Amino acid sequence: MQTRSPFIRRVFRQWELIAMIVPIMIYVFIFNYLPLRGWVMAFQRFRPWLTVQEWVGLEHFRFLFSEPRFWEIMRNTIVMSVLNLVAGFITAITFALLINEIRNRGFKRAVQTVSYLPHFLSWVIAASLIGDFLSGAGILNSVLMWLGIIDQPIIFLANPDNFWTINTLSNVWKSMGWNTIIYLAAITSIDPALYESADLDGAGRFAKMRHVTLPGIKSTILVLLIMSAGWVLHAGFELQLILMNDLTRPRAETLDIYVIRFGIQQGNHSLATAAGIFRTVVSLVLITLANQMSKRFARESLV
């Protein structure tokens, strides 16, 4: 009888895990890969009511790359994504380190619970709260006037220069607590003997954070950073769409809103598809570069 290959033997030993993965693979194939057939619309002058579409080649891509407004939207998308990425990583890691140092379990759980709550709010509700908070009669203006910092209310959402900061702080407020979960899980896997050795060397809490905790979760940070690199062109649209007005539109409109505006509101499905393909290709290139750089300089990678 012919001996089975090592691969076949591993498949038989792990058949339960493979059986658990199959439904997820089917889901991903149906909702992530089958829709890729719609990419052909980017090379057509697509009309839903026609059975035979007119092929136009790269016409929609040439229009995108020659339109000044598209590059302005790309600037907004990249800047907001990078700001969210940097601020999100710094605050989540810092918050996880601080929570890990809390010794009172009851207080620690209370802090974690309160920090998680904004994540479960929809962006519609969150944006409404943010808009009320920043309005002329909102809490922020009331506090600033009570402290004597300002004499007249400031309409924060009327100044386009404020929008990127508002977007970044709003994303940090909503996601910081939730993003700490994976870092706290990584911290629990660090060998306690390392902390005991640091105690013997006379290290304080901040020294242990720097020399034990951070190196212990370095691989987790790098993997999440690599995965986040693929989302640089995904700045979102819910918060921007709700808070955006005619004054802040030059700084608030993102690529997602651009796709919605042309694809749904104006019915130009081909142009919206071309913009989506461009974003996907750039995201794939970025995540590949981030993976290779991490593998080369930090010896950590996804694959």
Q: Tell me which amino acid residue 104 is.
A: N
Q: Which two tokens stand for residue 257?
A: 């809103």
Residue 8 forms part of a structural domain: no
Q: What count of residues does the chain have?
A: 303
Q: Hey, which residues does 55 pair with through a beta bridge?
A: 44
Q: How far is CA 71 from CA 82, 251, 258, 271, 282, in A?
A: 16, 12, 11, 15, 14
For residues 214 and 205, is the Cβ–Cβ distance under 8 A? no
For the chain, how big is the Rg over CA atoms in Å? 24
Contacts of 97 (CB under 8 A, 6+ apart): 183, 187, 209, 213, 214
Residue 110 forms part of a structural domain: yes
Q: Hey, which residues does 54 pair with through a beta bridge?
A: 45
For residues 168 and 87, is the Cβ–Cβ distance under 8 A? yes
Residue 21 forms part of a structural domain: no
Residue 168: Cβ within 10 Å count: 19
Phi, psi (deg, nearest 5) at residue 50: -105, 145
How many domains does the chain divide into? 1
Residue 13 forms part of a structural domain: no
303 residues of the chain, pLDDT tens digit each: 455 678 788 888 888 888 899 999 999 999 989 988 889 999 988 888 878 888 999 999 999 899 888 899 999 999 999 999 999 999 999 999 999 888 888 999 999 899 999 999 999 999 999 999 998 888 999 999 999 888 888 889 888 999 999 999 999 999 999 999 999 999 988 888 988 888 888 888 888 888 899 989 988 888 888 888 888 888 888 899 999 988 999 999 998 898 888 777 888 889 889 988 998 898 889 888 888 888 877 777 666
Residue 79 forms part of a structural domain: yes
Q: What's the pTM value of the predicted model, to 2 decimals?
A: 0.85
pLDDT of residue 1: 45
Residue 253 forms part of a structural domain: yes
Question: Helix count (H) and strand count (E) of the chain?
Answer: 16, 2
pLDDT of residue 302: 67
- Residue 160 CA to residue 158 CA, distance in Å, equals 6
For residues 59 and 42, is the Cβ–Cβ distance under 8 A? no
Q: Which domain holds residue 107?
A: 66-297
For residues 251 and 271, is the Cβ–Cβ distance under 8 A? no
Residue 267: Cβ within 10 Å count: 13
Q: Hey, which residues does 44 pair with through a beta bridge?
A: 55
Q: H helices of 189-268, where?
A: 192-200, 205-208, 214-216, 218-229, 238-243, 249-252, 255-260
- CATH code for position 110: 1.10.3720.10
What end-to-end distance do the CA atoms of the chain give, in Å?
Answer: 36
Phi, psi (deg, nearest 5) at residue 55: -85, 130
Distance of CA 282 to the CA centre of its chain: 15
- Residue 298 CA to residue 285 CA, distance in Å, equals 19
Residue 133 forms part of a structural domain: yes
Place of tokens 């829709």: 35
